[in-house]
Amino acid sequence: MKKTSSRLLVTCVDLACFSLGCGGGHGPRLETVTGTVLMNGEPVRGVNVTFIPHVNGSPYYGRTNENGEYQLMFNQHRAGAEVGVHTVLI
């Protein structure tokens, strides 16, 4: 039996929201979270990316596109996630 190994690389870029009124009283203050999922240097397409906060809160979700890129969503209408420590599931 031939043993193979794969290497999964997830990159995440947090972009701060500097405009006044961020969140605007319509829920928690969110930061934009985007990233790329690669396996063996190739984009991983069509996979769910889930960030689960270590403190209170609901998970944030994204799905990779054809380039392995994702953007986390708070809900159907708001992109982003709260700042904090998260467990990442692919």
* Residue 15 exposed, middle or buried by CB count within 10 Å (0-12, 13-18, 19+): exposed
Q: Give the pLDDT confidence of 4-23 residue by residue, as tens digits.
A: 555 655 555 543 433 334 44
pTM above 0.85, yes or no: no
Q: Which two tokens stand for residue 78?
A: 């708001």
In whole angstroms, what is the distance from residue 62 CA to residue 54 CA? 18
Q: Give the pLDDT confidence of 52-83 residue by residue, as tens digits.
A: 999 888 899 999 999 999 999 999 999 999 99
Q: Give the pLDDT confidence of 31-52 residue by residue, as tens digits.
A: 999 999 999 999 999 999 999 9
Topology given in CATH for the domain delimited by 8-89: Immunoglobulin-like (2.60.40)
The confidence band for 2, taking pLDDT boundaries of 50, 70 and 90, is: low
